[in-house]
Amino acid sequence: VYDAGPYLPRDGGLDAYRRAAARCRGCPLHESATRTVFGEGSESARIVLVGEQPGDQEDKRGEPFVGPAGRLLDRALEEAGVDRDEAYVTNAVKHFKFTVASGGKRRIHKAPDLREMSACRPWLEAELRLLRPDVVVALGATAGKALMGSSFRVTKDRGALLRMPGEDDGPYLVATLHPSAILRADKEDREAAYAGLVADLGVAAKALA
Ligand code: URA
Ligand code: SF4
């Protein structure tokens, strides 16, 4: 079975985990991607934002949310009053999954499947264990399921202040739309979808205050 577990270090801080994740072969996604994209941000972050998986630009640069979706997320965070410098940003799956358009070289994002998501989950769990944030934001359905279980529905529970399953004093969780879904939305729907993202991030910001 696919599993990142054997590649996790026994101890150490985020940097030790980041170095180990660079060599992860817990599932086949490392074969076609350029590199592991581990989380980035403040070690004292009180808020952790979780996306789906790195995109094309993230795969090339080795950092999460630095492409078009990341620029939209930065803008929404600022409008919601969340300082990105005080946040930690990561993904449910650490390698870029894609198909190459026939004849072209454009790499088209493909959603990770359940096996890849569960294989990669130990990295996300380690990040949360080391960071101990007050609030976790699930950006989209994949992150929602990775954090809350496979029956979680972002469309139903977005924008609500929830608790992560597990300990009673664990972090709050707020689920919202994925920034890429907003970029893909029809022009007439985009503004409302973006406002929804900002409002949901505002719920997370308020829980921090
Ligand atoms: N989309 C994601 O889910 N994560 C990224 O890092 C970039 C785009
Ligand atoms: Fe390891 Fe996750 Fe990459 Fe799969 S996607 S190889 S589990 S880091």
- The answer to whether residue 145 scores a pLDDT higher than 90 is yes
| The ligand 1 atom nearest the CA atom of 52 | 3
Question: Quick one: fold of 5-208?
Answer: Uracil-DNA Glycosylase, subunit E (3.40.470)
- Best substitution site from 180, 183, 184 to test ligand 1's pocket, by max atoms within 8 Å of Cβ? 180
| 58 CA from centroid of ligand 1 (Å) | 7
- The answer to whether residue 168 scores a pLDDT higher than 80 is no
Both tokens assigned to 151: 């029956």
Please state the ipTM of this predicted complex.
Answer: 0.96
Q: pLDDT by residue (tens digit) across 14-30?
A: 999 999 999 999 999 99
Q: pLDDT by residue (tens digit) across 80-118?
A: 999 988 899 999 999 999 999 888 789 999 999 999 999
CA 188 to chain centre: 27
Residues β-bridged to residue 89: 40, 49
| 105 CA from centroid of ligand 2 (Å) | 23
Categorize the per-residue pLDDT at 179 as very low, low, confident or very high, splitting at 50, 70 and 90. very high
| 180 CA from centroid of ligand 1 (Å) | 8
Any idea what the Cα angle at residue 193 is, between residues 40 and 80, rounded to 5°?
A: 50
| The ligand 1 atom nearest the CA atom of 91 | 4
Both tokens assigned to 50: 């979780």
Both tokens assigned to 107: 């790499």
What is the three-class DSSP state of 115? helix
- Mean pLDDT (the chain) is 96
Sheet (strand 47-51) strand order: 40-41, 87-91, 47-51, 135-139, 172-176, 162-163
Q: pLDDT by residue (tens digit) across 63-87?
A: 999 999 999 999 999 999 999 888 9
- Best substitution site from 18, 27, 110 to test ligand 2's pocket, by max atoms within 8 Å of Cβ? 27
Share of the chain above pLDDT 90, in %: 92
Neighbours of 1 (CB within 10 A): 8
Residues near ligand 2 (Cβ within 6 A): 4, 21, 24-27, 29-30, 36, 93-95, 116, 119-120, 123
CB 134 within 8 A of CB 47: yes
Q: pLDDT by residue (tens digit) across 24-55?
A: 999 999 999 999 999 999 999 999 999 999 99
- The answer to whether residue 142 scores a pLDDT higher than 90 is yes
| 37 CA from centroid of ligand 1 (Å) | 10
Q: What is the pLDDT of residue 42?
A: 94
Decide whether any atom of ligand 1 lies within 6 Å of the 91 Cβ.
yes
Ligand minimally distant from the alpha carbon of residue 38: 2
Q: What is the pLDDT of residue 209?
A: 87
Please give the full DSSP string across 153-175, using - where no structure is assigned: -HHHHTT--EE-SS-TTS-EEEE
Neighbours of 192 (CB within 10 A): 10
- The answer to whether residue 167 scores a pLDDT higher than 80 is no
pTM for this model (two decimals): 0.97
Nearest CA owner, ligand 2 atom 8: 94
Q: What is the pLDDT of residue 103?
A: 81
What is the three-class DSSP state of 107? strand
Longest dimension (CA), the chain: 52
Categorize the per-residue pLDDT at 169 as very low, low, confident or very high, splitting at 50, 70 and 90. confident
